[in-house]
Amino acid sequence: MIIVIQRVSKASVKIDGKIKAEISTGLMILVGIEESDNQEDIGWLSKKIVNLRIFPDENEVMNKSVLDINGEILLISQFTLHASTKKGNRPSYIKAARPEIAIPLYEQMIQTLEAELGKPIGTGEFGADMKVSLVNDGPVTILMDSKNKV
């Protein structure tokens, strides 16, 4: 599972011109799910996400987590994170999980993040054409791959 975490002062996702979800200070996360991902990947990433100390403390040092600041999370599925660009100019998405595998994992990730954060999170809609807007605060952007946790 690959994720892109962006520290934001606000973020939203629109589907068919209507806002599906919006957050203020917190994390906007893109998640790419591959065939071999499982509950272990979700658990590891979810704990890392809510405890990642990337928000400033009183000395402007990145020392606080989204939990510490009572921040929000917006989680968006994005299969293109698994694009392979080794050959030619058209990306291949062969590593991205098929919907019958990815959708249940995405839904489990939502539930796990909500449990870790202690409140509901904002989400996109799996497979929808989404328009994501955000103000990246910092900017702070972090990439994580659950296959590189050791």
In the chain, domain spans: 2-148
Q: Torsions phi, psi of 63, nearest 5?
A: -140, 5
pTM higher than the cut 0.85: yes
Q: Which of 31, 13, 16 lies closest to 134 in space, CA to CA?
A: 13
- The CATH number of the domain covering residues in 2-148: 3.50.80.10
Mean pLDDT of 51-73: 97
**pLDDT above 90: residue 150:** no
Say whether 25 is catalytic. no
Catalytic residue among 25, 80, 85, 141: 80
